[in-house]
């Protein structure tokens, strides 16, 4: 059951942020396209939050069951959990890179169009900014779930409780911001 719950979590979080494709020359067409993408991404983010909560409950319950079965069972679960954490490391890095590349491409396109259509660029920039704000929230749901997996591992693996400690609050805040930064 723990294996299935972990696989289900990987499936949930492996969905990429949808592409906001192209900047059509017609402003209205672009604004409508951006609004559609924004609505889709907002729905995906809400859905991911709900499904993540369910996944957390299922995975936690599975690990409690494994712990009750004995050390051999929990060891197998921890091996799968470590593999899942590794998968999440990769997913987070890919998603961060994907979003950054997409945002840079739109910045270049807006810069190209700006001399010809200042007002259009100004209005469409608002839509683009809304999209990338939501893309960051979508990404941060994955990061939050990753932290849940790390905490779960620490609960069942005494050797996983180590790690970096922070004495200065500002350094901790900077570290956490870097982790969620897109």
Structure tokens at 137: 């929230």
pLDDT band at 161 (very low <50, low <70, confident <90, very high): low
Q: What is the DSSP letter of 158?
A: G
Residue 116's pLDDT is what? 77
CA atoms within a 13 Å half-sphere pointing along the CA-CB vector of 21: 2
Contacts 24+ apart (CB under 8 A), 161-170: none
At 124, give phi and psi (nearest 5°). -75, -30
Q: Specify whether the backbone of 132 is left (phi greater than 0), alpha (psi in -120 to 50) or beta.
A: alpha
pTM: 0.75
pLDDT band at residue 123 under the 50/70/90 scheme: confident
Higher pLDDT, 13 or 75: 75
**pLDDT grade for 5, boundaries at 50, 70 and 90:** low
Kindly list the distances between the CA atom of residue 83 and the CA atoms of 43, 52, 53, 69, 97, in Å, as whole numbers in the listed order.
29, 18, 21, 21, 21
Please determine, for residue 121, whether its predicted confidence score (pLDDT) is greater than 60.
yes
Query: For residues 151 and 158, which has the higher predicted lDDT (pLDDT)?
Result: 151
How many whole angstroms separate alpha carbon 34 and alpha carbon 133? 13
Q: What residues contact residue 180 under an 8 Å CB cut-off, 6+ apart? A: 136, 139, 140, 143
Residue with tokens 């994907």: 98
Element (H, E) at 87: helix 71-113
What does the pLDDT read at residue 60? Answer: 94
């Amino acid at each position: 059951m723990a294996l299935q719950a972990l696989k289900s979590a990987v499936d949930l979080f492996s969905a990429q942020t949808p592409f906001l494709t192209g900047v059509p020359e017609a402003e209205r067409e672009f604004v409508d396209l951006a609004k559609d993408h924004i609505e889709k991404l907002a729905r995906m983010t809400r859905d991911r939050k709900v499904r993540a909560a369910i996944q957390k409950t299922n995975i936690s319950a599975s690990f409690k069951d494994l712990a009750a079965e004995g050390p051999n069972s929990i060891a197998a679960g921890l091996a799968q959990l470590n593999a899942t954490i590794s998968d999440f490391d990769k997913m987070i890095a890919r998603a961060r890179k994907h979003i950054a590349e997409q945002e840079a491409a739109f910045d270049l396109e807006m810069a190209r169009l700006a001399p010809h259509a200042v007002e259009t660029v100004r209005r469409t920039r608002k839509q683009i900014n809304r999209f990338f704000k939501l893309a960051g929230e979508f990404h941060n749901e994955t990061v939050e779930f990753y932290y849940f997996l790390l905490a779960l591992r620490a609960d069942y693996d005494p050797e996983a409780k180590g790690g970096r400690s922070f004495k200065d609050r500002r350094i901790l805040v900077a570290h956490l911001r870097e982790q969620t930064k897109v």
